[in-house]
């Protein structure tokens, strides 16, 4: 690792998952891209991750401990704050980077200065890293994607097509669009960021599987997306998509195109109906 002039900071927020953290950290250390800074930020009141960092990091990994509970959004914003490099990866402590993730992400952003973030494909795996399926079959063309095209695509498909651990940001984007917030819903704050970035900038898509995304019972996604009869994730997604549609309707290319205007207005109605159905399943008598 080039400690004197790193170009990307990989921050791993962690909380009480030492076994998973070991695998995540090993996968980052094993990347072929050397010009990186690695930081583990520990938000755990009980199981301290410092021992894991010292054991696995070999002096190559920084460790920061927070005494207060920052929550996931607070942890991600701390990651942005401590990043002093051109690029930033906020990597999950329970996922695994595959070979070439950092080098290919940085290369793509270096070659495409209008793109403010990149993302890649991922495998969904179980707790033991056994393959379950690909993250999604809904993919845009590979390469540079205009922000408006990205918004239109997620609206057409009615879902998020970008999974957080595959994302690499230009650090400067947060100076332009702000930090992570639960503007609409707590469990869709990452999709909220993708929408804010795409509203103003381009995105680059690496159509290649470069991350193992682990599914297990202790993750946030398990509760909000994979618990039967508890569609809070889908409800939050509908709210974010309504917001994305409203942003797109304000763009000149849409204002001058009545056909696409009608399509987007109909989509708002569709998302509202879906959101109502999800809300009724959660709140009896609504």
User: 15-19, 196-200, 265-269: which has the minimum mean pLDDT?
Assistant: 15-19
pLDDT at 251 over 60: yes
* pLDDT value, residue 222: 57
Return the percentage of the chain with pLDDT > 70, whole number.
Answer: 92
For range 221-239, the mean pLDDT: 73
End-to-end CA separation in angstroms for the chain: 56
For range 81-108, the mean pLDDT: 97
b/e per residue 235-270 (b: at least 16 CB within 10 A): bbbbbbbbbbbebbeebeebeeeeebeeebeebbeb
pLDDT tens sequence across 97-123: 999 999 999 999 999 999 999 999 999
pTM of the model: 0.91
* pLDDT value, residue 218: 66
Short-list 112, 109, 122, 124, CA closest to 168:
109
pLDDT at 27 over 90: yes
* pLDDT value, residue 220: 60
What's the pLDDT band for 2 if we cut at 50, 70, 90? Answer: very low
b/e per residue 104-143 (b: at least 16 CB within 10 A): bbbebbeebeebbbbbbbbbebeeeeeeeeebeeeebeee
Decide: residue 87, CB within 10 A, 0-12 exposed, 13-18 middle, 19+ buried: buried
CA contacts within 13 A on the Cβ side of 194? 29
For range 173-200, the mean pLDDT: 95
pLDDT mean across residues, the chain: 90
What's the pLDDT band for 44 if we cut at 50, 70, 90? Answer: low
Return the percentage of the chain with pLDDT > 90, whole number.
Answer: 72
Q: Does residue 61 contact residue 25 with C-beta atoms inside 8 Å? A: yes
Short-list 23, 33, 28, CA closest to 11:
28
User: 32-36, 126-130, 219-223: which has the minimum mean pLDDT?
Assistant: 219-223
């Amino acid at each position: 690792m080039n400690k004197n002039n790193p170009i990307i900071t990989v921050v791993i927020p962690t909380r009480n998952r030492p076994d998973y953290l070991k695998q995540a950290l090993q996968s980052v250390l094993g990347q072929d891209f050397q010009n990186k800074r690695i930081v583990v930020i520990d938000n755990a009141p009980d199981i301290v991750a410092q021992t894991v960092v010292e054991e696995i990091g070999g002096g190559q990994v920084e460790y920061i401990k927070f005494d207060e509970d920052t929550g996931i959004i607070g942890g991600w914003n701390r990651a942005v704050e401590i990043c002093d490099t051109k690029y930033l990866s906020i990597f999950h402590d329970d996922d695994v980077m595959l070979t070439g993730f950092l080098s290919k992400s940085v290369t793509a952003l270096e070659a495409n200065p209008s793109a403010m973030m990149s993302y890649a494909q991922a495998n969904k795996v179980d707790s033991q890293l056994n393959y379950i399926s690909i993250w999604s079959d809904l993919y845009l063309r590979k390469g540079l994607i205009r922000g408006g095209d990205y918004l239109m695509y997620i609206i057409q498909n009615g879902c998020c097509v970008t999974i957080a651990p595959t994302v690499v940001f230009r650090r400067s984007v947060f100076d332009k669009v702000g930090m992570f917030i639960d503007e609409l819903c707590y469990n869709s704050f990452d999709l909220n960021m993708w929408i804010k970035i795409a509203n103003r900038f381009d995105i680059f898509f690496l159509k290649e599987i470069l991350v193992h995304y682990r599914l297990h019972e202790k993750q946030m996604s398990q509760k909000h997306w994979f618990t039967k009869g508890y569609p809070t994730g889908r409800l939050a997604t509908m709210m974010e998509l309504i917001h994305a549609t409203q942003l797109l309707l304000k763009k000149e290319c849409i204002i001058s195109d009545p056909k696409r205007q009608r399509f987007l207005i109909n989509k708002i109605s569709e998302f509202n109906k879906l959101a109502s159905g999800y809300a009724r399943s959660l709140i009896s008598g609504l």
